[in-house]
């Protein structure tokens, strides 16, 4: 009912009131105005909702697209920063290896056990942006990152041998033909066995962490090759083999039970590899005691990506295993540790280092003054 209808009804009510045919013209006018305002407001607000808030624009839609295209912002800015500075110093190539391998595994996992489509799109977008980032980083890679210029790491044999001689007197690594095993048998106590087991565990943990340290040589120079073609060859072989095996098991032979087991293994392995993404950067910070060359935007994007991913897994996803959330929380804890490292080496460590240098300089100056005073005293005695 429009404004004209309201005027018309009010006029009729007044005419009836004047002629005496109606006893309450005011009530009819109020009723007409209320009906007009009610119908008009409903039509108005329905048009607003239809025009400004489409039905497809929901929070689920926004969350899905944010989680899918976040890698374009986080790693795209890194590509631009490397191109602008003309050097990849401070950026670890292991980031590309970690994200590419993890994303390929997640895509193949989808072929066996379909999960949220938004996470599949994120994996595909991640592969594309990481290929561009790898190409850019290899183009501006410093010579210090090449295999021939890296430091060797202790072999597993040497580390186990060092641990053995700490707890047992007879060393089978050097004295193989020794027939007197009585000292070794006497040293087999629970204390020595537990200590030896604990140290061996630390040895394997040390070797595992050293593999993620980009400043040391790896087995067969993995992801430290001098030739750039080796990177693309590895990715092509790994991707083709992974998809071929996955399709063969799940689609061709249709082994239901075995394919589910393989899918769980692939998915868990992909999430585990992705959760180890911050380890190379942690090693670099610890060795250099500096954040020079590290782009802060990478750390910010990691933390924002972790928050967005965990929020999506908790509130937005429907068909997600709990293992996704566990590995996401583990990766977030490593990123928080990197943030603490960044703050410490950026703001506190330089101050502490300068303080130590000042104390050392003061000590050296006092020694020089004492030496000069001693020489002066000797000259006065003479």
**What is the reported pLDDT for 128?**
94
- The structure tokens listed for 56 are 């497809």
> pLDDT at residue 100 above 50?
yes
Question: Per mean pLDDT, which of 45-59, 74-88, 303-317 is the most reliable?
Answer: 74-88
pLDDT tens figures, 146-179: 888 888 888 888 888 888 888 876 665 555 555 5
> pLDDT at residue 264 above 80?
no
Give Cβ neighbours of residue 44 (< 8 Å, ≥ 6 apart): none
Q: Is 216 helix (H, G, I), strand (E, B) or coil?
A: strand
The percent of residues above 90 in pLDDT, for the chain, comes to 11
Give Cβ neighbours of residue 292 (< 8 Å, ≥ 6 apart): 90
Question: Per mean pLDDT, which of 313-317, 332-336, 350-354, 365-369 is the most reliable?
Answer: 332-336
CA–CA separation, 355 and 370 (whole Å):
23
**Higher local confidence (pLDDT), 107 or 171:** 107
pLDDT band, residue 217 (cuts 50/70/90): confident
Question: Per mean pLDDT, which of 67-81, 179-193, 306-320 is the most reliable?
Answer: 67-81
> pLDDT at residue 41 above 60?
no
The closest of 95, 118, 135, 65 to 299, measured between CA atoms, is 95
Confidence (pTM)? 0.67
CA–CA separation, 20 and 22 (whole Å):
6
Q: Is 19 helix (H, G, I), strand (E, B) or coil?
A: helix
Backbone angles phi, psi at 278, to 5 degrees: -75, -10
pLDDT band, residue 373 (cuts 50/70/90): very low
């Amino acid at each position: 009912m429009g404004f004209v209808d309201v005027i018309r009804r009010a006029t009729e009510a007044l005419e009836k009131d004047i002629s005496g045919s109606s006893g309450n013209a005011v009530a009819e006018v109020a009723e007409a105005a209320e009906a007009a305002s009610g119908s008009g407001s409903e039509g108005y607000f329905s048009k607003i909702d239809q025009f400004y808030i489409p039905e497809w624009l929901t929070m689920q839609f926004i969350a899905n697209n944010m989680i899918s295209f976040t890698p374009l912002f986080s790693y795209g800015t890194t590509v631009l920063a490397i191109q602008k500075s003309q050097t990849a110093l401070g950026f670890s190539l292991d980031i590309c290896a970690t994200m590419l391998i993890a994303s390929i595994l997640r895509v193949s996992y989808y072929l066996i056990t379909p999960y949220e489509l938004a996470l599949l799109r994120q994996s595909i977008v991640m592969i594309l942006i990481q290929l561009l980032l790898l190409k850019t980083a290899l183009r501006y890679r410093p010579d210090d990152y090449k295999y021939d210029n890296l430091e060797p790491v202790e072999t597993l044999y040497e580390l186990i041998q060092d641990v053995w001689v700490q707890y047992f007197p007879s060393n089978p690594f050097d004295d193989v033909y020794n027939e007197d095993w009585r000292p070794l048998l006497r040293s087999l106590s629970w204390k020595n066995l537990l200590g030896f087991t604990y140290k061996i565990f630390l040895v394997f943990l040390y070797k595992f962490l050293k593999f993620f340290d980009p400043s040391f040589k790896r087995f067969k120079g993995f992801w430290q090759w001098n030739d750039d073609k080796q990177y693309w060859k590895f990715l092509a072989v790994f991707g083709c083999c992974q998809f071929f095996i996955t399709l063969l098991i799940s689609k061709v032979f249709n082994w239901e039970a075995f394919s589910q087991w393989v899918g769980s293994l692939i998915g868990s392995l992909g999430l585990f590899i992705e959760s180890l993404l911050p380890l190379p950067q942690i090693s670099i910070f610890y060795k250099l005691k500096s954040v020079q060359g590290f782009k802060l935007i990478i750390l910010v994007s990691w933390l924002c990506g972790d928050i967005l991913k965990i929020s999506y897994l908790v509130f937005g996803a429907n068909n997600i295993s709990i293992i996704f959330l566990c590995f996401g929380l583990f990766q977030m804890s490593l990123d928080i540790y990197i943030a603490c490292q960044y703050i410490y080496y950026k703001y506190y460590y330089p101050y502490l280092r300068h303080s130590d240098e000042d104390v050392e300089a003061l000590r050296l100056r006092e020694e020089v003054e004492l030496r000069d005073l001693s020489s002066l005293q000797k000259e006065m005695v003479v």
